[in-house]
Structure 1
Amino acid sequence: MTAPNPPSPFAAELAAALHAAAGAAELILARGGAANVRHKGRADLVTEVDEAAERLITERLLAAFPADRVVGEEFSSSQIHSGRRWYVDPVDGTTNFVHGHPFVCVSIALWDDDGPAAAVIHAPLLGEVYHAVRGGGAFRNGEPIGVSAVDAPSGALLATGFPFKAGKGDLDAYMRLVADAIRATHDIRRDGSAALDLAMVASGRVDGYFEIGLAPWDCAAGMLLVTEAGGRVSGWPGDEGLPLHTGRVLATNGRIHDWLAELTGAHVGGL
């Protein structure tokens, strides 16, 4: 008889993250305040739902773990990269949300000084909830997920996002990279949510993902999902810091990682 797996040391944290994400997902589905849009910058939108969801998530996380810190997209005055901290994106894909496009999610991740510990990505309009804890595998709606077995770029489907925010990279140069990636693969998807792009890698729906100009809350949860699903996450060639700090992420099923690093490395100087 096989012994049951021991409970995760982060079971309480995962439960708190799932509870917080579910509350924020209800706000997204209700869409109250979705039409009240402010512009933080060109094509960088925020709604009343973003702000209400982040307040709810923060309240629920700190009620469970009052000594922890929360780094959220809307209200954090500084980024924190040490100790126990929660990276929160209350509505990843706000532009999608404003337009009624379903690729919208809540992204919550706990990190400590050993790296990512627990992660939840809740996509209410898709009816999908992803979660992972360190050393415990990755799951979608409670079922285990894993990365794809594609081992050749010619058979790969990739995902990316565009550097549309000022100061996040040269768009024209980036599109030359995208063009080369399209020529070498089956195709590329641009879904407008970094967290969901990473979840798609973890679940084997796409084989690789690359992007620049990300904030920690964009990728903190998805990075754990990918590694727990058997994939690989790294920075771009030449990066000295972690992707969480540099905002430049490569995530793949592992089999095409070296190729994707070589491809992006050929363009990195122009970005």
Structure 2
Amino acid sequence: MIDNLMDFATRTAREAGEITLQHFGHAAVRFKGDGSEVTAADLAAEAYIRDALVQAFPDDGIVGEEGEDTPSRSGRRWIVDPIDGTRSFSSGVPLYCVLLALEVDGTPTLGCAHFPALGETLVAATGAGAWHNGERARVSECDDLAQARMITSGLEYWRDRSTDEDRAGFDRLVKATRFTRTWGDGYGYFLVATGRMDLVCDPIAGSYWDYAPMNVILSEAGGRFTQFDGQPVGAWTSALATNTRLHAAASSILRGA
């Protein structure tokens, strides 16, 4: 059953990704009431995913960034982010993805991230491993912060949505690691899960659909995903994703311990 669900998530995310590519490079942005950005591609991709879910699993619930919540009658609920990284997408930068997650009785058990412009897909399910384009995905083996490669999603988040205490912790972590890049949003977590970067440090995790797949994806790839203090990630909390080996040291530096 879980293999079928992983196949469904992968196929649906890829098909929704094809819709986004029709708009990629010339998407017009408008702003929602909360100030976040949206394009016609977001709306069309989510509509496609919702229709696919209704056809395949009519009793499952749906929560999506661009539409109304559908209550669950089955104990399962799908979480949909049609374009994670709208700022990248609307700028013609290919580091955006389609995100899907599946909850069973409130617990995320499946996560999928598809990068349409890159042709890369990562899917994971509890107990079934993490799979990148059909090959097993694993985090890196780096165990020395001085050699660690770090990502953050955007410097404006540190400027606008962080605290002085957390900014100071991030500055300490930047100094403690090998280098820091801003290949952010879902792409950063994807790079950690596939072993190409070692940790992601973000002052905010965003809304639920922004991070719902990440705990399953990272844990099945051998990584760890928490707030800076080790507590579970929640909406708009801090977020630290690592290859596990670096987690305690990074958390300690962020907290000034």
Q: TM-score range by the shorter chain?
A: 0.7 to 0.9
Aligned residues: 255
Distance 1:112 1:50 in 2: 25
Greater shift, 170-179 or 114-123, is seen at 170-179
| CA distance 1:119–1:42, shift in 2 (3 Å) | closer
Structure 2 counterpart of 1:190, one-letter code: T
Distance change in 2, residues 1:29/1:115 (3 Å): same
1:251 shift after superposition: 1.4
Q: Secondary structure at the match of 2:219?
A: helix
Q: For the residues of structure 2 that align with 1:257 and 1:211, how far apart are their CA atoms?
A: 14
Asked if the contact 2:227/2:240 (under 8 Å) is kept, the reply is: yes
The aligned residue for residue 155 of structure 1 is 147
Cα 1:17–1:48 shift into 2, 3 Å? same
Matched, 1:128 2:120: yes
CA distance in 2, matches of 1:35, 1:125: 14
Aligned partner of 1:87 in structure 2 is 79
> Which residue is equivalent to 2:241?
251
Work out the CA distance in 2 between the residues paired with 1:51 and 1:95: 15
What SS does the aligned partner of 2:209 have? helix
Task: Tell me the secondary structure at the aligned position of residue 212 of structure 2.
Answer: helix
The match for 1:206 among 155, 178, 197 is 197
Confirm or deny: 8 A CA contact 2:200 2:242 kept in the other structure.
Answer: yes
| Structure-1 residue corresponding to 2:40 | 48
Tell me the SS of whatever aligns to 1:205: coil
User: What secondary structure sits across from 1:106 in the alignment?
Assistant: strand
Please, which of 16, 20, 30 is the counterpart of residue 28 of structure 1?
20
Amino acid at match of 1:263: I
Q: Equivalent residue for 1:64?
A: 56
CA distance in 2, matches of 1:37, 1:49: 10
1:260 match: secondary structure: helix
Q: Which residues of 2 match residues 110-121 of structure 1 at below 5 A? A: 110-113=102-105, 115-121=107-113
What is the distance in 1 between the residues matched to 2:155 and 2:34?
Answer: 11
Please provide the CA RMSD for this pair.
2.9
Tell me, in whole angstroms, the C-alpha distance in 1 between the residues paired with 2:108 and 2:44. Answer: 25
Q: Residue type matched to 2:190 in 1?
A: A
Superposition TM-score, scaled by structure 2 size:
0.88
Q: Secondary structure at the match of 1:196?
A: helix
Counterpart residue identity of residue 144, structure 1: R
CA drift at 1:86? 1.2
Identity of paired residues, percent? 35
Find the residue that maps to 2:161 and give its secondary structure. Answer: coil
Asked if the contact 1:17–1:61 (Cα under 8 Å) also holds between the matched residues in 2, the reply is no
Is residue 74 from structure 1 mapped to residue 50 from structure 2 by the alignment? no
**Shift in Å at residue 167 of structure 1?**
11
Q: Secondary structure at the match of 1:243?
A: coil
1:263 paired with 2:253, answer yes
Residue 118 of structure 1 and its aligned partner are, at CA, apart by 1.6
**3-state SS of the aligned residue for 1:151?**
coil
Cα distance between partner residues in 1 of 2:159 and 2:34: 11
Structure 1 unaligned regions, length at least 5: 1-8
Gaps of 5+ in 2: none
Q: What is the CA–CA distance in structure 1 between the aligned matches of 2:172 and 2:188, rounded to whole Å?
A: 20
